[in-house]
Chain A
Amino acid sequence: MSEPVEDSPGAAFAAALAGLPGMGPATLVAILRQWPPEEAWARVCEGSLRRPDARGRRAESEQFAWSDDGHPRQPKPAWRDAAGRLDPPQWWAYHAARGIRVTWPGQPSYPRALAMDHQLPGVLFWRGSLAWLDSPCVALVGTRRASPDGRAVAFEMGRDLAGAGVCVVSGLALGIDAAAHLGALRAGEQTGAAGPVGVAASGVDVVYPRQHARLWGQVVAAGAVLSENLPGRPAQAWRFPSRNRVIAGLVKMVVVVESHSTGGSLITAEAAIARGIDVRVVPGPVHSPASVGSNQLLYDGPGPVRNAQDVLDGLGLFLSAAKDRGAPATSRTENLGAEARTVLDAVGWRPTSLNQIVERPGLTAARAMALLDDLEARGLVGRHHDWWVRRRPS
């Protein structure tokens, strides 16, 4: 459900300005702070717009017509040429008809959290509804190559946070990001839940990764997908770190669910720390390669969180309907036979191959398979390709 927002008249020109060659966020912000988009565009067309200093000092006033290194600032001819080839209203009508909206600093729809940022995006394109960003926002980020356990944590956390009215922000990537979005979407089925917001590194109409086409559609329908990049721009490696700073800027807290020793989620965490935004980490198994980075981060300082309740505590919020989080794991395993218990112990909490399970004395492959089938039906173990892992029944 997209908002029935009428684009403000300058939308087409603001978007067109963002598409000028070599236009970066700082320059764009400086231009848009100085002139309304239509006027800025007119100046570009006539070739009289001098590129403002990136820090936003007025280029028109005589004293700043010279850059720091003493050369006069010239209008960029490339901008004028590019502007001459484009009719912004016609071009933008195409995208607007496809549900794409744009906002820039100073507009009422521009996210308030970002407006205060020191590296704020010059424009933001979005599909869906940005209203969700007015609720408290939490970013759930993590590795693309996640363990089943990490996925489960991200899913549950996304579900419970969204259910508590917290807007879950993530990056629409494989692994943890997708699980967090899916969890938030699951919660969207109940009332009072907040919609998810996905921040893309590509244009909002370029699905990346491609197998997430359905997920994008669902997120747009229930929440919003936004991006500072022009519609149609592909996902390129250098766009991801700047995407991550947008995520960090949008939220009150960044939760790193699982991260390899290097990874984009660590960049998001760094960006959040630089902004004084809370970072929390979900502890992972010490031996798991998928948790090396997140555990290192945890060791370096940020506190741990175990579930949505911990996140809400950190935000100073309360879970509306406190869920019973007793110890179901033990009660559900009580009526298991000795053999099944052996298998359950052999599976353990990290991914285990069938080979390792069958190595337990007294178990044949057939028997182990039968017991695993039963345990899986009871929801006590999960299967991921050919790896088995114990699950907490929920």
Chain B
Amino acid sequence: MLATVSSAILTGVEGRPISVEVHVSTGIPSFTVVGLPDASCREARDRVRAAILSSGLKWPQHRVTVNLAPTGVRKGGAGLDLPIAVALLAADGQLPLESLGGMGFLGELGLDGSVRRVPGTLALVDAIPARCVVVPASGAAEAALVRRHVVRPTPGLRHLAAILRGEDGWPPIMAADQPTPDRPRPDLIDVRGQPLGRLAVEVAAAGGHHLLLVGPPGAGKTMLAERLGGLLPPLDTDEALEVTRIHSAAGIHLPQGTLIRRPPYRAPHHTASLVSLIGGGGVYMRPGELSCAHNGVLFLDELAEFPSDVLDTLRQPLEEGRVLVCRARASVVFPARVLLVAAMNPCPCGSERGPGSCRCRDATRYRYSARVSGPFLDRFDLRVMVDRPEVSELLPPGGEWATPESTATVGARVAAARLVAGGRGVRDNAAIPGSRLDELAPLQAGARLLLETRLRQGRLSARGLHRVRRVARTLADLEGSTGPVGADHVYGALALRAEVFQPEEAAG
């Protein structure tokens, strides 16, 4: 007898519908899986057999063939365990065939017959063409986010068999829709001093400008970067769904039953491999850290310690907001629109407190700064030097300090500025194309004169000019001035564009 159920496999962050066909016929008892299963999928045989026996069901003493269609696509993962088991039981006559009509299944089987959640549930359920989808109980809330299917949770194979035979009813979905309380995020109120760093973080959040922080160890670079995520406005439903789908596919822990509403913050260590940052690898093509930070913040600490080829591969995705990863068997598009924040030391010894104060040789310093290529450095609209706070800033001299602004206060300004920027028809100010700068960020006479002077002095390049104008636009938005950009804003933008690295000027 033949039974067919629908399921899905994961490629990148997209699901792909798979039809699981099981045929049971007379012959020497055997169990064969065909249709390009990979090792994890072929192992299903042993899990399915154990689960069926543990659940008090019968293992058919017949010739069993499992086909995974379409057969040309490589299949991986344990998510097909449950559909194979169900189709097998139906084909063997232990379940009524008609109970499978319009049903899709998804889940990994334990040897005791329990059903486990698989990574990428959201994308997988989205891809299943059936009207009703049966998923592990722990993944039901996530599956329900798709809102196109009737989602049926199942705790185990024994229970599921009873339900399909009509002996029992479906259990309700656990009401997990109450958002888990967010872990408290670091607040800007803890940052003492650092006026320039605080401003840079605010501008980066408001305009979507990539930010490079340069400073000695202990200056507070990481502290500032961690607080940037909190300044970004919460994700809207579409963005949240996209982010949740990526995180689910990457197997990152999701908040219980809710969408990811907070912009993600990812900080990969500098030993990260190229594939782990960009995405790819294996049959699934797992999304990389770049995509995991989609719609949020990607923080690269110790930027100069990243291999330079890894950094340079980030250039094009940063420009396009997506990355197309191609392999011989598949090519996958990963979303990759991130706010990039990077931190690095000014020199290898990291003790610089002014020119002439560190003991690194010039050649050493030059080599260190050259690890970050010019084109990559060019992606940063904001480059800020952060220095160690003076003792007097850490300990109040007499009374108390004035309390610094909190994330909530600054976040409100950021949200207002983003609203203004959104009204211009661009995603954020960093995305204003050069050709529309005159229209969207016109200059007042004073600002124009200032920029002309800088250009003539050779202290600003043509590319730098565009970046300064975009940042100046964001500064104006933050102040709530919607007219042309003034000289003040341009000065502010110039203050946030430190000449971080310059080889020692040749004296000759």
Contacts and interface: CB of A to CB of B under 8 A. Distances in A.
Contacts, number: 119
A67 to B, nearest CB: 42
Given A147-B354, A288-B356, A289-B356, A365 B496 contact: yes
B386 interface: yes
Interface in A338-394: 350-356, 358-359, 364-370, 373, 384-387
B403 interface: no
B489 interface: yes
A147 B488 contact: no
A212 B362 CA distance: 14
Interface string A128-148: 000000000000000111111
Which size class do B's interface residues fall under? 35 or more
Given A211-B508, A387-B355, A355 B492 contact: no
Contacts of A217: 508
Contact of B491 (A260, A355, A370): A370
B340 to A, nearest CB: 21
A27 interface: no
B356 to A, nearest CB: 4
B495 A350 contact: no
A260 B357 CA distance: 9
Contacts of A211: 504, 506-508
B489 A359 contact: no
Contacts of A181: 507
Contacts of A258: 356
B502 interface: yes
Given A365-B492, A369-B494, A373-B491, A355 B195 contact: yes
B452 to A, nearest CB: 14
A145 B362 CA distance: 8
A interface SS class: helix
B388 to A, nearest CB: 10
A291 to B, nearest CB: 9
Interface string A174-208: 11001101100000000000000000000000000
B194 interface: yes
A223 B504 CA distance: 25
A267 interface: no
A387 B354 CA distance: 7
Given A289-B356, A366-B491, A144 B362 contact: yes
Nearest to A290: B356
Give the most central of A368, A370, A384: most B CB within 10 Å: A370
A178 B508 contact: yes
A150 interface: yes
Interface in A308-332: none
B257 interface: no
Given A145-B362, A370-B488, A178 B507 contact: yes
A354 B386 CA distance: 9
Given A144-B362, A386-B499, A290 B357 contact: yes
A381 B349 CA distance: 28
Interface in B182-237: 193-197, 199
A359 B356 contact: no
Given A353-B387, A386-B499, A216 B508 contact: yes
B506 A214 contact: yes
B196 A365 contact: yes
Interface in B39-90: none
A284 B508 CA distance: 25
A329 B89 CA distance: 95
B498 interface: yes
A97 to B, nearest CB: 24
Interface string B344-369: 00000000011111110010000000
Nearest to B504: A174
A213 interface: yes
B492 A369 contact: yes
A385 B495 contact: no
B507 A179 contact: yes
Interface in A225-261: 258, 260
A214 B508 contact: yes
A354 B497 CA distance: 11
A148 B355 contact: yes
B464 to A, nearest CB: 15
B488 A358 contact: no
A354 B385 contact: yes
Contacts of B508: 178, 211-218
Contacts of A148: 355-356
A381 B266 CA distance: 41
B310 interface: no
Contacts of B386: 355
B498 A354 contact: yes
B174 interface: no
B495 A354 contact: yes
A153 to B, nearest CB: 13
B475 interface: yes
A148 B355 CA distance: 7
A367 B197 CA distance: 16
A288 B357 contact: yes
B445 interface: no
A365 B354 contact: no
Contact of A355 (B194, B355, B450, B500): B194
A18 B179 CA distance: 85
B345 to A, nearest CB: 14
Given A145-B362, A366-B488, A355 B385 contact: yes
Contact of A369 (B194, B354, B390, B495): B495
A386 B495 contact: no
A290 B353 CA distance: 11
Interface string B473-508: 001000000000001110110111011101010111
A214 B427 CA distance: 50
Contact of B196 (A215, A358, A370): A358
A359 B389 CA distance: 10
A370 B472 CA distance: 14
B438 interface: no
Nearest to B360: A145
Nearest to A258: B356
A147 B355 CA distance: 6
Nearest to B502: A385
B393 interface: yes
Contacts of A147: 354-357
Contact of A364 (B197, B492, B499): B492
Given A146-B356, A355-B197, A182 B507 contact: yes
B386 to A, nearest CB: 7
B254 to A, nearest CB: 39
A364 B487 CA distance: 13
Contact of B499 (A143, A289, A385): A385
Nearest to B365: A145
Given A216-B508, A354-B385, A386-B498, A359 B195 contact: yes
Contacts of A150: 356
Contacts of B195: 355, 358-359, 365
B500 A366 contact: no
A384 B489 CA distance: 23
Interface in A273-307: 288-290
Contact of A212 (B194, B355, B494, B506): B506
Given A214-B508, A385-B499, 9 more contacts: A150-B356, A289-B353, A290-B356, A354-B196, A355-B387, A356-B387, A359-B393, A364-B492, A366-B492
The 7 closest A-B pairs by CB, nearest first: A215-B508, A366-B492, A214-B508, A178-B507, A351-B354, A211-B506, A290-B356
17 contacts: A145-B357, A145-B359, A147-B357, A174-B507, A211-B508, A213-B508, A214-B506, A215-B507, A260-B359, A288-B356, A352-B354, A354-B498, A358-B196, A365-B491, A369-B492, A369-B495, A373-B491
